[in-house]
Amino acid sequence: MNRFTYGFGLRLDRTYLLIFAFAFLAVTISGCGPGGFNIIPLGAKLQNADTAFDEAETMDIQNDDPEKMEKNRKRKQELYDRAIALYSEVIERDTKGKWAQRAHFQISKIYKRRYDWDKATEHYEAIIGLDPTGYYANEAKSGTANIRKNREIIKTKRAEYQNYKAIYNDSPTDETFNIAAGALYEVARAYESLENYTEAIRNYERMVDEFPEHSQAPQAQFQVGNVYFYTLHDYQAGWPAFIAVAEKFPDSYEASQAGTLLKQTNEILTEIKFLMDEIDKFRNKKAVEYQKTGRKITPADMWVMGMTDQVVQNFQQIAGNWEKLRNFPRAINAYTTLARDLSHKKFAAADALYRTGTLYQQNAEYERAIAAYNNLFTNAPESVWRNEAVYQQAVCYRSIREFGDAYEGFKAYMSITKGDTPYLREAEQIIRQYELDQDSDGYKFYEEQEAGTSDQDANSHPGMGM
């Protein structure tokens, strides 16, 4: 006799289902060892890592108060540490994927910021191990070669400087003077190429102090200002460096350049401050207070009524001014803030999304450009920038050697574009090239390119080893 009724079995099944569901949820949230599940999608985790990296990159540590400056410096390093931790989680979960390669690449950037060349090289080597023929592998190989080359230059030229400086001090000649000065200048340039800007600045300044009569001394002093302004985006520290060009080398070409540059930069920074102050003035103070309490505020409610068009113009001018100063991280930040906080201004928000993509693309951050263009397609599919964004996104895919996606992108551009446009003929030529099959092995040129095989040899094709 069966002592278990159908109803009991059904209840039992439901109980097991509930237990299984709770267990799965617990594993999903907490993870299950190094390779366990994680509720946060990889793309979102990578985005969080990028956010921490961007915040560190745009953070200004300069302050008249030494304690506050030290606090800012510590905060900057904490943000880099957070970025490394998040990128490392991406690597752990995506051990063989494209995201892992980019995470390794970003971590290598941070270690280069910290002048830890060995750690940077380790992550470059990890990229090459994941995909020896891919875009990031090529960048990693170039990065590794650059580190080796410039470390060797520093070692060789520093020894040359020390030797000839000692000879010059003992028995001065024009030859020993020029060799010692030139060697020290090369040391500074090598440090700059390695992105060790602290040492680059120190050696440029040393060259100016020890060899003020040398023909490259004005350029060395000018380069100190350049590094501060256009690489570190530290205008407070760069200002006296440019002023020193005119003071130390008043008759030089660099002195006139420095004077013009300081005048232009002062005008731009003054305008940026005015525009930012005006934006703050146009914020709805009550809405800001509500937002601080956790209440959801729509973009339209964030601004004083009737002033949103002015706010849009201010953000656009701020972004454009940062571009003039080659401060692309802050320009991108201005555009993304516009797109987020004024999303109800559809045309302006779409324009900001497109500009964000183009700036990432100009800065060779192709995957972030691709994501920015996707953001435009999702949030503003009717934008006047749509067609051009489709084309530029295809260019980005080609740049990172994802030729299949590039092929589809160029085809999409041709299908949605009417009339003679700047890129139509170029897209047609690319499509014709991509569709070639010169060795008649059944694989098109773009498929061979993506696989790293030859379209000139029928025995070399993507199907090998399948």
227-272 residue pLDDT tens: 999 999 999 999 999 999 999 999 999 999 999 999 999 999 999 9
d(CA 135, CA 234): 32
Q: Kindly state the average pLDDT of the residues 159-165.
A: 97
pLDDT in tens, 33-70: 444 455 678 888 899 999 999 999 888 887 778 888 89
CB 374 within 8 A of CB 394: no
Whole-number pLDDT of residue 41: 84
Domain for residue 138, yes or no? no
* One domain, residues 222 and 363: no
Backbone angles phi, psi at 402, to 5 degrees: -100, 80
pLDDT at residue 88 in the model: 96
Residues 123 and 168 in one domain: no
Taking the C-alpha atoms of residue 193 and residue 97, their distance in angstroms, rounded to an integer, is 29
Check whether residue 348 and residue 257 sit in a common domain.
no
Least reliable range by pLDDT among 107-121, 148-162, 434-448 = 434-448
Whether residues 193 and 181 share a domain: the answer is yes
The residue type at 232: L
Is 15 domain-assigned? no
Place of tokens 């991406």: 90
Q: How far apart are CA 462 and CA 442, in angstroms?
A: 10
Predicted local distance difference test score (pLDDT) of residue 68: 87
Q: How confident is the model at residue 445 (pLDDT cuts 50, 70, 90)?
A: confident
Mean pLDDT, rounded, for 326-331: 96
Of the candidates 231, 265, 253, 226, the one whose C-alpha atom is nearest the C-alpha of residue 242 is 226
Domain edge (last residue) among 132, 160, 187: 132
420, part of any domain: yes
pLDDT at 8: 34
126-130, 209-213, 281-285, 328-332: segment of lowest average pLDDT: 281-285
- Residue 319's pLDDT is 98
pLDDT at res. 457: 64
122 with 231, same domain: the answer is: no
Coil, helix or strand for 305? coil
pLDDT, position 2: 42
Question: Is the pLDDT assigned to residue 20 strictly greater than 70?
Answer: no
Instruction: Go through 318-339 and write b for each residue having 16 or more CB atoms within 10 A of its CB, e for each that does not.
Output: bbebbbebebbbbbbbbbbebb
Together in a domain, 122 and 238? no
Residue 20 lies inside a defined structural domain of this protein: no
Q: Which of 87, 106, 132 is the last residue of a domain?
A: 132
Residue 365, helix vs strand vs coil: coil
Q: What is the pLDDT of residue 3?
A: 39
Name which residue leads in pLDDT, 449 or 12: 449
CATH of the domain at 170: 1.25.40.10
CB atoms within 10 A of CB 265: 18
* Residues 336, 50: Cα–Cα separation, whole Å: 14
Task: Choose between 418 and 462: higher pLDDT.
Answer: 418
pLDDT beyond 80 at 104: yes
What is the per-residue DSSP string for 414-446? HHH--S--TTHHHHHHHHHHHT--TT-SS--HH
For 30, list phi and psi in degrees, rounded to 5: -90, -25
Percent of the chain with pLDDT over 70: 89
Q: Which two tokens stand for residue 53?
A: 């990296």
Same domain, yes or no, for 333 and 288? yes
Select from 387, 425, 380 the least CA-distant residue to 409.
387
Angle at 389 between CA 385 and CA 392, to 5 degrees: 140
**How many Cα atoms are found within 13 Å in the side-chain-facing hemisphere of 56?**
23
Q: Give CA separation, 458 vs 134, 247, 397, 446, 450, in Å.
A: 22, 67, 26, 15, 16
Mean pLDDT of the chain: 88
- Say which range, 58-62, 80-84, 168-172, has the weakest mean pLDDT: 58-62
* Domain hosting residue 322, numbered range: 271-451
**Range with lowest mean pLDDT among 93-107, 265-279, 330-344, 377-391:** 93-107
Nearest by Cα to 346 from 296, 297, 293, 383: 383
